Copies of this chain bind each other. A is one copy, B any other.
């Protein structure tokens, strides 16, 4: 038990033997989740906040509004986990069964709490409403449960403590759940969990495949604390270093040498870390060097410009962009008509001239031109997915990449934008 915890928290008795190493699991409740009608963002919200509390999340489960399956899920969780976090099923309707399922799983009687019922009626009258009688069930408790306030809704949460285990039942609407988590649940858990914290550091690379990164850093992957893992993402391959320690500082001390080693191996293929986006990383390089960029896009239809301007402060280095969907507009914007006639608009020659034209017209240091076939129909007999990306700058002859990437229209656009930013970054590394 944690005497300090008991001393610290007046609201709830925090005596909790298992605190030093809390195994947690989340259960998201609602048939609409299992029908795919809504995305279960509550589970991710909770998952993303547990590491900093030093609580390990081992299982996430979604189950429908079915008393048997829901009770079974809670019973199993009660057997294997120290902390169970449920969301949903606390509403007033007949298929809100979380309270009933917890009572069944823990074999405890469910009864209406007079004080809670009064508060609930007050909640309604404060809004000039009369409480529908079916809402009374929201004032029910079991002996092991204590209510958790929910100022944003009618469903109070439950804090259930028994057999050295804790179950926290929270409402499903994210605005109610998140407020309850931040104000009520997280602070209490922070006092319980003395199992140290988990800190992660993600290094983001470009230009090498998942398998290659895995081989390059092979020896590091055997380390257990910090642990090292490789993930393939849309913006390149990520390397994640994760350390568990008593404090954030200690975890960072474990990560530092591993990060240094990884950086030594991966070198310039690393373009950013943690939440940094490629557009922000490239934008920072442009700002540092006092350089600017302008874009002329065809098949990406403005997605490159939009992505570049997703980075805050981009106005200081983004000179502007043209979305030139037709050959006429490209020519009107300064692309050599002769090149278009000779090679067609879907050609590396035209991509290069688009980059040059927009750089000159908007007075930028770099110009990027993208032309290709986003589909669904081929263009100029060039297959869907044919992409030409060119970078123009005054000093060099510029660079260009051409490839075919036969995928969905959206995927083709995204891939082209990422490639264009990779191209720009490579050029900036030389500056």
A residues near B (Cβ < 8 Å) are: 31-41, 43-51, 57-66, 69, 73, 91-95, 129, 131-135, 152, 154, 173, 175, 198, 200, 209-212, 214-215, 221, 229-232, 240, 242, 295, 297, 300-306, 308-310, 312-315, 318-326, 329, 362, 374-377, 407-411, 413
Contacts and interface: CB of A to CB of B under 8 A. Distances in A.
Given A60-B34, A69-B58, A362-B329, A211 B92 contact: yes
B63 A232 contact: no
Contact of A34 (B35, B58, B64, B329): B58
A35 to B, nearest CB: 6
Given A58-B69, A92-B210, A211-B92, A320 B322 contact: yes
B322 A323 contact: yes
A188 to B, nearest CB: 19
Nearest to A301: B309
A60 B58 contact: no
A44 B229 CA distance: 25
A92 B230 CA distance: 10
Contacts of A319: 325-326, 329
Given A132-B214, A302-B303, A310-B413, 20 more contacts: A35-B57, A40-B44, A58-B64, A59-B62, A59-B69, A61-B62, A91-B232, A92-B211, A94-B214, A129-B209, A132-B209, A134-B214, A134-B215, A175-B408, A295-B323, A305-B306, A306-B323, A310-B410, A319-B326, A320-B323
B321 A302 contact: yes
A37 B44 CA distance: 8
Contact of A376 (B39, B95, B312): B312
A97 to B, nearest CB: 12
Given A39-B39, A58-B34, A306 B303 contact: yes
A40 B40 contact: yes
Nearest first, the 10 closest Cβ-Cβ pairs linking A and B are A36-B48, A301-B309, A302-B302, A302-B305, A36-B47, A132-B211, A321-B323, A60-B62, A302-B306, A303-B306
Given A39-B41, A58-B69, A324 B320 contact: yes
Nearest to A308: B301
A344 B68 CA distance: 57
Contacts of A297: 302
A326 B322 contact: no
A104 B377 CA distance: 47
Given A36-B48, A60-B61, A132-B212, A93 B229 contact: yes
Contacts of A304: 302
Contacts of A411: 175
A314 B295 CA distance: 20
Nearest to A323: B321
Contact of A200 (B35, B92, B300, B301): B35
Contacts of A229: 31, 65, 93, 95
Nearest to A28: B60
A212 to B, nearest CB: 6
Nearest to A202: B37
27 contacts: A32-B240, A34-B57, A34-B60, A35-B47, A35-B57, A36-B49, A36-B51, A37-B48, A37-B231, A39-B39, A39-B41, A40-B60, A92-B214, A93-B229, A95-B221, A132-B211, A152-B407, A173-B232, A175-B411, A295-B323, A301-B318, A301-B321, A302-B309, A309-B323, A309-B325, A313-B377, A321-B323
A225 to B, nearest CB: 14
B329 A320 contact: yes
A274 to B, nearest CB: 10
Contacts of A73: 59
Given A63-B59, A413-B306, A132 B33 contact: no
A44 B39 contact: yes
Nearest to A417: B306
B325 A322 contact: no
A37 B91 CA distance: 29
